[in-house]
């Protein structure tokens, strides 16, 4: 099994998201794609399975250009689990997962298909949801059912777009470890987008690090890609990377770097500031003293003063929140109006 991407660019509505991507993946294993929001991770995997046509370059699966492959041929070669299911029908969970077998049995149900679905539901721990209507499930349950439907397709390439986005930390670890186990034991190429860098580092055989402006910055093992230099540069955060049980683990510091996003509007200016328990480091703990100064607001660069930050003076009497969560102070409405007006200027 092999995916080759050569000089590929892609985007939406005339806006280019990916620029000159060169990426070669071969053989079984878990590949985790990481990177900040907006760098084109989802766009990349959509180009792999012909959901999005590149504006330039070439994508090949097992030596064949995906442009020349039919939808049936693609479904037999790879399965795809989107970041969020668009299904809104009330079909039972069992039938929803069974639809994933259409690439094997088309529209005839074989007894083997039923056995496959039961086994996958059991492995994922959702057998009790079999008779539940799909549209009555929680977001996390929706995601798990979508993963089950991808698994029953039994293709040699499995692509998952943020499969753990709606799951708690326990289920994030479970799903990622399961994907690694399936990749190794079944000889499957699993490609998974992840925003949890530590979990990705723990289980991934390969890591693809994407960065602005829509490029692949680094590809390799977790040890080679997840470094302090790479994470600090790409994500704009201060961190330390330590080795834990032979795998890199990221320890975040309490500061962010000044970073200007220039590739995709609206750009934001990030300031470097240290925090301690939600307030500026070294500042008094008294809320009145902390809020009595001036704080910077993020502002879209442009106009006569590009990249300049607008500041809002906080006045005496600014509302605070008590333990009950209720607002205290008479100026909340005026403050909200000030914030709206400044952000629109």
% of the chain at pLDDT higher than 90: 52
**Which of 102, 97, 76, 77 lies closest to 87, judged by CA?**
97
pLDDT score recorded for residue 109:
75
Contact partners, residue 271, CB within 8 Å, separation at least 6 = 256, 258, 296, 309
Mean pLDDT of 310-317: 41
Choice between 303 and 90, residue whose per-residue pLDDT is larger: 90
Instruction: Decide if pLDDT at 318 tops 50.
Output: no
pLDDT score recorded for residue 166:
82
| DSSP one-letter string for 207-272 | EEEEETTTEEEEEE-HHHHS-HHHHHHHH-EEEEEEEETTEEEEEEEEEE--EE--SSSSP-EEPP
The pLDDT-based confidence of 320 (bands split at 50, 70, 90) is very low
The per-residue pLDDT for range 180-225, each reduced to its tens digit, is 999 998 899 999 999 999 999 999 999 999 999 999 999 999 999 9
Choice between 275 and 85, residue whose per-residue pLDDT is larger: 85
**Which of 103, 298, 286, 83 lies closest to 194, judged by CA?**
83
Mean pLDDT of 55-76: 92
pLDDT score recorded for residue 203:
96
Q: What's the CA gap between 157 and 62, in Å, rounded? A: 10
Instruction: Decide if pLDDT at 104 tops 80.
Output: no
**Which of 201, 145, 151 lies closest to 171, judged by CA?**
145
Query: 61-75, 82-96, 154-168: lowest mean pLDDT where?
Result: 82-96
pLDDT score recorded for residue 209:
97
Spans of all domains in the chain? 2-222, 274-344
CATH architecture of 2-222: 3-Layer(aba) Sandwich (3.40)
Instruction: Decide if pLDDT at 310 tops 70.
Output: no
Instruction: Decide if pLDDT at 72 tops 90.
Output: no
**Which of 326, 251, 316, 250 lies closest to 287, judged by CA?**
316
pLDDT score recorded for residue 86:
60
The pLDDT-based confidence of 336 (bands split at 50, 70, 90) is low
pLDDT score recorded for residue 37:
93
The pLDDT-based confidence of 154 (bands split at 50, 70, 90) is confident
Q: What's the CA gap between 215 and 39, in Å, rounded? A: 7
The pLDDT-based confidence of 88 (bands split at 50, 70, 90) is low
| DSSP one-letter string for 78-103 | EEEE-SS----S--BHHHHHHGGGHH
**Which of 156, 188, 160 lies closest to 78, judged by CA?**
156
Dihedral (CA of 314, 317, 323, 325) sign:
negative
% of the chain at pLDDT higher than 70: 70
**Which of 313, 276, 317 lies closest to 293, judged by CA?**
313
The per-residue pLDDT for range 249-273, each reduced to its tens digit, is 999 887 666 554 444 443 333 334 4
Contact indicator for 146, 82 with CB cutoff of 8 Å: yes
Instruction: Decide if pLDDT at 89 tops 70.
Output: no
Mean pLDDT of 18-44: 95
Burial of 247 (0-12, 13-18, 19+ CB in 10 A): middle
């Amino acid at each position: 099994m092999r995916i080759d991407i050569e000089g590929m660019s892609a985007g939406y509505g005339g806006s280019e998201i990916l620029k000159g991507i060169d990426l070669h993946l071969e053989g079984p294993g878990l590949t985790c794609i990481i990177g900040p929001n907006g760098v084109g991770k989802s766009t990349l995997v959509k180009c792999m399975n012909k959901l999005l046509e590149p504006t330039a370059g070439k994508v090949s699966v097992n030596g064949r250009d995906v442009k020349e492959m039919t939808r049936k041929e693609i479904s037999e070669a790879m399965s795809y689990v989107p970041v969020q299911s668009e299904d809104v029908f009330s079909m039972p969970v069992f039938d929803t997962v069974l639809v994933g077998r259409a690439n094997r049995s088309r529209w005839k149900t074989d007894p083997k298909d039923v056995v496959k679905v039961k086994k996958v539901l059991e492995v994922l721990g959702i057998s009790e949801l079999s008779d539940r209507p799909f549209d009555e499930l929680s977001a996390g349950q929706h995601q798990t059912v979508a993963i089950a439907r991808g698994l029953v397709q039994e293709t040699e390439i499995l692509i998952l777009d943020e499969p753990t986005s709606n799951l708690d930390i326990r289920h994030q670890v479970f799903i990622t470890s399961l994907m690694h186990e399936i990749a190794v034991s079944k000889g499957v190429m699993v490609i998974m987008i992840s925003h949890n860098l530590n979990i990705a580092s723990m289980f991934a055989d390969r890591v693809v690090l994407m960065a602005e402006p829509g490029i692949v910055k680094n590809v390799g093992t977790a040890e080679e890609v997840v470094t302090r230099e790479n994470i600090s540069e790409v994500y704009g955060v201060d961190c330390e990377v330590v080795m834990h049980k032979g795998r890199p683990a990221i320890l975040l510091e309490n500061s962010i770097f000044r970073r200007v996003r220039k590739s995709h509007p609206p750009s934001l200016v990030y300031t470097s500031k240290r925090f301690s328990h939600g307030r500026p480091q070294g500042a008094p703990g008294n809320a009145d003293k902390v809020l009595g100064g001036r704080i910077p607001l993020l502002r879209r660069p442009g106009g006569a003063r590009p990249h300049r930050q607008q500041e809002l003076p906080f006045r005496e009497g600014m509302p605070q929140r008590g333990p009950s969560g209720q607002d205290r102070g008479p100026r909340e409405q005026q403050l909200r109006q000030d914030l709206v007006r400044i952000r629109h200027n």
